[in-house]
Structure 1
Amino acid sequence: MCLGASGMGKTWLQERVSELMPQEDILEITTLSMNAFYYFGKEELKHKLLLIEDMDGAEAVLYPLRELQSKRKISKTVTLKDSKGNLKTVTLNLEGTVCISGCTTREQLYEDNANRCILLYMDNSPEQDKKIMDYQRKLSAGLIDQYEERKVREQIKNVHRILKPISVRNPYDTYLSLPEAVFKPRRTMLLLLMFTDSRLRALLMVTEFIRKVTRT
């Protein structure tokens, strides 16, 4: 979850990160009703990156999203008419795992979601303002090699496409601890473990990719 005041570039940052992912693995959500969420195909969202441009626009689906994050699947029983007009009960199932990224200016409003997420706070320092404006001026003046930027983005996308899932067991997980003041420590510890293991998994996958490329 990306947090910051309006105009700080939260959505811009999220869009730039999404450009490094294969487009077939991304689903952008502006507004979506809770009922519509359950009518995706059973595995349509599996291993997808869901981008929520503004959390306020997707407030109706925050509950099923939380359940999808926690349980990796959600279900809902509804009554539908068959081809003959007869009513029948149907259970709609949706499976994860999914990666969810969203932007908001109101952290407290989404507390239940925030404690399931890694929170990224925008840098609003004068030094960061100067760096951003310097890049904007160079881009406008044609001093930024946009072709090279696109080339790098495509390379990273293709790396994602060939990565394969691997199992990771970190023997140092038993040494991790949290400060006593941490909010909801049980959930935070699980989030920390998943985060460190994911970083290790990513490092191993990239190392394997580089090794294969070097061999060829």
Structure 2
Amino acid sequence: MPQPKKGPRLASSPAHERLMLANMATSLYAHGRITTTLPKAKRLRPLAERLITFAKRGDQPSRRRVMRVIRDKSVVHKLFTEIAEQMEQREGGYTRITRIAPRKGDNAPQAVIELVTEPLSAKKATVREAEAAAKQAAKADDSEMAEATEAAITEGLAKDATDQAVDANESGQDVAGADEAAVDLQKESRKDEAAEAEAEEDADVAEDAAKSDEK
């Protein structure tokens, strides 16, 4: 038989122990408190609080998960509607264990395990609300920061595109001016070449005329 890892087994077998804890959890949810031995109360506490955590989720898979342990549908309904609503503001510590006088006969240590149904104190509720508000504000700040960053990036890209367009326009104007200047230079060069050729031709004609006069 497998050996228990969390202390002595509370019943004759693991299956018997699971059924016993399930019955104790059912009684706890139905009546709000039960009296049992201290080892059983300590073993019941994590199971009972885990089932309350499932009940606070409120979805169908969580209900099916709880139904595997708690077979009484009326108790499951109470757990999901009343108890889960009472524990809405709590993030743990749904049960309380209080030691009482030992049991008569075998002197076994006894305890009362009960649901913590009283509301949170005003100070704790204020702290919880402040923490929730801080988380929401942090999320809002992150969202605003992301939007501002995206806007800055978009604005920067737009400015870069504008600068590039201006540079392109300016460089285009320079190229056009250079082209015009080059065309003008070519025209002036051609005029000079034509004038030089005309002058050489005139000089040749004058030389031929001088030779004719000498003859």
Normalised by the length of structure 2, the TM-score is 0.23
Which is strand-richer, 1 or 2?
Answer: 1
Which is helix-richer, 1 or 2?
Answer: 2
Normalised by the length of structure 1, the TM-score is 0.23
Considering only CA atoms, is the larger Rg found in Structure 1 or Structure 2?
A: 2
